[in-house]
Amino acid sequence: MALTDRKVMTFDVVGTLIDFETGILDYVQGKANAAGVTLTDKAILEAYAVAEDRQHHQTPRLPFPSMMAPMYHEMAEVLGLPDSNSDAEEFRLSIPHWPAFADSVAALKRLKRRFHLVAMTNSDDWALSHFARTLDNAFDDLVTAEMVGWNKPDPQVFAFTRGRLSTRGYVFSDILHVAQSQYHDIAVACRLGYHTCWIERRKGKQGAGATPMVQKVAIPDYHFGSLVELADAVDAGK
């Protein structure tokens, strides 16, 4: 199938459209600088990834903003950061300030001309309301971990979204799932038989950054380094 044969694009939001690594670094480096602690970006992002992986296994039903306080406490211990309940809560409250990637808003507007766009995120409703505004309210529908009661990579998130799409007349073959995270999205979507598009935001960079590592990279149907590359491919009729 060509990209233009699809009717729906379901999107991971954080990491694919929202530059969460910049958001994390802005907050943590600010705390570190105030405390006189010198940290590399690599150390911060890797500490976040380890803490997130642990929280996903311990509390797989919690939206990720609810995990951020315990994640901060774990990161603070590893990185030597100030560690109070207010520091951890401020980490969660930094979410509304996380920026979109430079190409996200314009590319989503281009894709919206052809596709039904669905946000499918491990955020709660509060966080997604902020992300949606940052992305200029590009989506036709919103699905959060708070609605589903589970986080990706649990297949129930995909099943919930498919159910909502079916009420609008869309079938499985209409859907292309678009995501950055192999850990949360691409691997499970491939196992479930979805057509997938990997937006490899860290293409050319070392390591997996703030995303937990996977043992084996799943091979997507489409692979781009940015969202604008996907929009260009659609406009080219590929």
Is 53 an annotated catalytic residue?
Answer: no
Q: Integer distance in angstroms from the first to the last C-alpha of the chain?
A: 9
Q: Would you give the distance in Å from CA 89 to the centre of its chain?
A: 21
Task: Determine contact, residues 44/24, Cβ cutoff 8 Å.
Answer: yes
Please give the Cα distance from 182 to 190 (Å, whole number). Answer: 10
Other beta carbons within 10 Å of 208: 16
Query: What count of residues does the chain have?
Result: 238
Structure-token pair, residue 60: 């797989």
Of the residues 12, 19, 124, 185, which is catalytic? 12
Residue numbers annotated as active site: 12
